[in-house]
């Protein structure tokens, strides 16, 4: 118990209570009484929702002392008043009653601990299941309307991050904003951009990208009209607009599921 709380019970000032303790310091070893550190004191005030203006804490020029059960019993002998003796007896009786209650309900508390542990284990397993579902659930198509620039770019970046070895973009209009998307790729993933070269991407842009991220090459061909993004030669996404313009106008992204179509598209690029 805090010195201020005991002083109120013993009907003395906190200062006089601590003076009596210090005059008999040999009776109060650290296991009977100890002074809080500033960190402990601040934590206690936070836990109890106590402001600095509280009458028990506010305006103190030193950290409070805390008395253990043995220290409280010893106080009755150093304060030497009828009130101190009576209060100490009541406090000791309360400690004894509390101890009996804890012992008599030990099995109940043990069961509650086991229930709480099982609940924590269940919660952990549920979190794992939900996280797995979240990572495995794939949005295979989406439409982005004009103005949804961030949403569109975020969606495309998530597709790009799926690649473990290779990315192929078929797009006739590419620029540095296209490279800003591919810089999010996983390390070691190569990037091939195939198109007619009608965009504004320069050889300097490619060199600058490769100086940091590496693996980017361009291939000129004009036999494609639509835009496609191919992941590891396995997954293909049809993109309704050049990805540099994603979100600037309404467009859609759709994952192609037909394996024969995927194979024919990949063979076309070889």
> Cβ distance 63 to 10 under 8 Å?
no
Global confidence as pTM: 0.50
Q: What is the pLDDT along the chain (270 residues), one digit of tens a residue?
A: 898 888 888 888 898 899 989 999 999 999 999 999 888 888 877 766 554 444 444 456 788 999 988 888 888 778 777 777 777 777 777 777 887 887 877 777 777 777 777 777 777 776 776 665 555 556 678 888 888 888 888 889 989 999 999 999 999 999 898 998 999 999 999 999 998 888 888 889 999 999 999 999 999 988 898 999 999 999 999 998 888 887 788 889 999 989 999 999 988 887
E strands in 117-242: 141-144, 166-170, 190-195, 216-220, 227-231, 235-239
Q: What per-residue confidence (pLDDT) applies to 233?
A: 92
Q: What per-residue confidence (pLDDT) applies to 132?
A: 59
Tell me which CATH code domain 141-269 carries.
Answer: 3.30.870.10
Q: What per-residue confidence (pLDDT) applies to 105?
A: 79
Vertex 18 angle, CA 12 and 22, to 5°: 140
Vertex 253 angle, CA 247 and 259, to 5°: 160
The answer for residues whose C-beta is within 8 angstroms of residue 10's C-beta and 6 or more apart is 17, 75, 79, 81, 83, 84, 87
Q: What per-residue confidence (pLDDT) applies to 133?
A: 52
Domain boundaries, the chain: 3-106, 141-269
Vertex 260 angle, CA 258 and 262, to 5°: 70
């Amino acid at each position: 118990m805090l010195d201020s709380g005991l002083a109120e019970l013993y009907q003395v000032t906190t200062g006089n209570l601590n003076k009596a303790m210090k005059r008999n310091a040999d009776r109060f070893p650290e296991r009977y009484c100890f002074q809080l550190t500033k960190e402990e004191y601040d934590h206690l005030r936070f836990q109890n929702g106590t402001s600095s203006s509280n009458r028990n804490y506010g305006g103190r020029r030193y950290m409070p002392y805390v008395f253990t059960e043995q220290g409280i019993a010893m106080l009755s002998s150093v304060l030497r008043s009828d009130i101190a003796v009576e209060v100490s007896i009541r406090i000791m009786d309360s400690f004894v009653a509390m101890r009996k209650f804890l012992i008599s309900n030990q099995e109940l508390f043990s069961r509650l601990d086991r229930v709480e542990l099982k609940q924590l284990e269940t919660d952990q397993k549920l979190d794992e299941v939900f996280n797995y579902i979240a990572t495995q659930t794939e949005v295979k198509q989406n439409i982005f309307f004009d103005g949804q620039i961030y949403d569109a770019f975020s969606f495309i970046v998530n597709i790009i991050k799926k690649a473990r070895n290779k990315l192929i973009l078929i797009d006739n209009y590419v620029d540095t904003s296209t490279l800003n998307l591919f810089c999010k790729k996983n390390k070691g993933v190569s990037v091939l951009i195939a198109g007619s070269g009608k965009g504004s991407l320069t050889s300097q842009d490619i060199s600058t990208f490769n100086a940091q991220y590496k693996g980017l090459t361009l291939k000129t061909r004009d036999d494609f009209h639509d835009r496609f993004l191919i992941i590891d030669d396995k997954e293909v996404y049809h993109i309704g607009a050049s990805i540099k313009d994603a979100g600037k106008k309404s467009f859609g992204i759709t994952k192609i599921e037909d394996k024969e179509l995927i194979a024919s598209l990949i063979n076309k690029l070889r």
